[in-house]
Amino acid sequence: MIKREKIKDLLNSTAFDTEVKVMGWVRTFRNNQFIALNDGSCMGNIQIVVDFTNTPEELLKRITTGAAISVEGTLVESLGKGQKVDVKAKTIEILGDSNADEYPLQPKKHSLEFLREKAHLRFRTNTFNAVFKVRHALAFAIHQFYNERGFVYMHTPVITASDAEGAGEMFKVTTLDFDKTPRTDDGKVDFSEDFFGKATNLTVSGQLEGELAAMAFGQIYTFGPTFRAENSNTTRHLAEFWMIEPEVAFADLENNMQLAEDMMKYVIGYALENCKDEIAFLNDRLLEEEKTKPQQERSELSLIEKLDFCLANEFERLTYTEAIQILKHSKPNQKKQFKYLIDEWGADLQSEHERYLVEKHFKKPVILTDYPKDIKSFYMRMNDDGKTVAAMDILFPGIGEMIGGSQREERMDMLTKRMEEMHIPQEELWWYLDTRRFGSAPHAGFGLGFERLVLFVTGMTNIRDVIAFPRFPKSAEF
């Protein structure tokens, strides 16, 4: 019995005149003679040469786009251009038929909008083969990076009773019957009768639990799904996405910035090294897409140049206050070209401001630090000025904010004061406060939205195209 070979291996083989077996899905079938077969192992297809004069007509009719077939034959040197090898078929078996009139992915160019509606089939296209191979490589590189540095991988809960961000945009988890919801005397839902005996939600972050583990293991990271019930129907937001969140004990903001920069360079470098074909394909795809845009909207850098740009440059580090001065006196601000004008300290920076700093002013990735406390979370360490916190955001070209993090507030009195100011109930976070009661230590961490990273490395422009089955307002298909 001949062992099945992967098309990826055969395309690089020179073992001509050997008997081989391949299985895959038909991309095209030309002239009843040439099958372009793909098995998902690479973007390339192998050409199957069919002896149509000796093949039953009934079988030929079943070799349609999308059909799954098994082929046994001889590996031969190709006579055609653009390929080194063919398989000269001896036997063809149909494993799964595909009705040519109904199969949505015909051999032509489909829009990304159309493919989003066919997310269950879009993996079979070259674009999404490339995107999800890169996504896999980036996920692997994340784990490898932290493993090499002795971090412990923690699985933090998906169901939680706390709101780590304090934003309140959370999905509720309940087993209560909506038609007969139990109520308290004052008319509120009585969650004491719910499954967990209290109100629970899908997590927005594993950070708080991650801090608990860091106070024992020294350095940990989480990599899991997070959820935001934010009604944002944009190309940058998802209701379900994945987050990488390291937490490191005995670390300050400087250590945090260095860890984040090292991680980004490591995973981008890994993808460039291990996904050469995929990134080259996505680079060419983006260049073609850029040609359709007005000149002023085109990117100055190709995808590969953009990735190399992040590896070649040390990230620029500056404070929020310095950034506000640069933005305030910038041409786009003075000429009122920014949608959100910068006129005073304390403004929450928008993507347009972040991209200006990276793409126009510094022309390198930027790390902003020391933000006003009023626009940041309760757990961030208060600076000595009493106005700013030891926070950091890492800004990338084309994306804006890629990473958000901070040195955490390890001082019990300062932390409880901030919680009071922000109306965060201390009794619900008694377990979090215990880490400040028993052996508190300086520590820091950050969060990286994984889909934002995949968006950047693949050059895709809509975040719904870098996660297998996107969840967003009014959409939970597949």
pLDDT at 176: 92
pLDDT at 297: 76
Largest CA-CA distance found in the chain, in angstroms, rounded = 86
Break the chain into its structural domains and give their ranges: 7-106, 124-169+204-465
- DSSP single-letter state for residue 349: P
Question: Whole-angstrom Cα distance, residue 395 to residue 338?
Answer: 18
pLDDT at 166: 61
CA atoms within 13 A on the CB side of 125: 23
Q: What are phi and psi of 98, to 5 degrees?
A: -140, 115
Kindly tell me the burial class for residue 6, based on how many C-beta atoms sit within 10 Å of its own C-beta (0-12, 13-18, 19 or more): middle
Beta strands in 9-65 (DSSP E): 19-30, 34-38, 46-49
* Domain topology for 124-169+204-465: BirA Bifunctional Protein; domain 2 (3.30.930)
Q: What is the dihedral of CA 123, 124, 127, 132, to 10 degrees?
A: 30
CA triplet 15, 281, 97: central angle to 5 degrees? 65
| Tally of residues, the chain | 478
Stretches where the chain sits below pLDDT 50 are none
Task: Give the H/E segment covering residue 15.
Answer: none
Could you tell me which residues come within 8 angstroms of residue 422 by beta carbon, excluding any fewer than 6 positions away? 166, 378
pLDDT at 321: 97
Helices assigned H by DSSP within 68-149: 112-117, 126-148
pLDDT at 165: 65
Q: Is the separation of the CB atoms in 209 and 217 below 8 Å?
A: no
pLDDT at 169: 84
Determine the CATH number of domain 7-106.
2.40.50.140
> What are the residues facing 189 on neighbouring strands?
183
Between the alpha carbon of residue 411 and those of residues 85, 114, 303, 374, 379, the distances in Å are: 67, 53, 44, 19, 10
pLDDT at 92: 97
Q: Is the separation of the CB atoms in 159 and 225 below 8 Å?
A: no
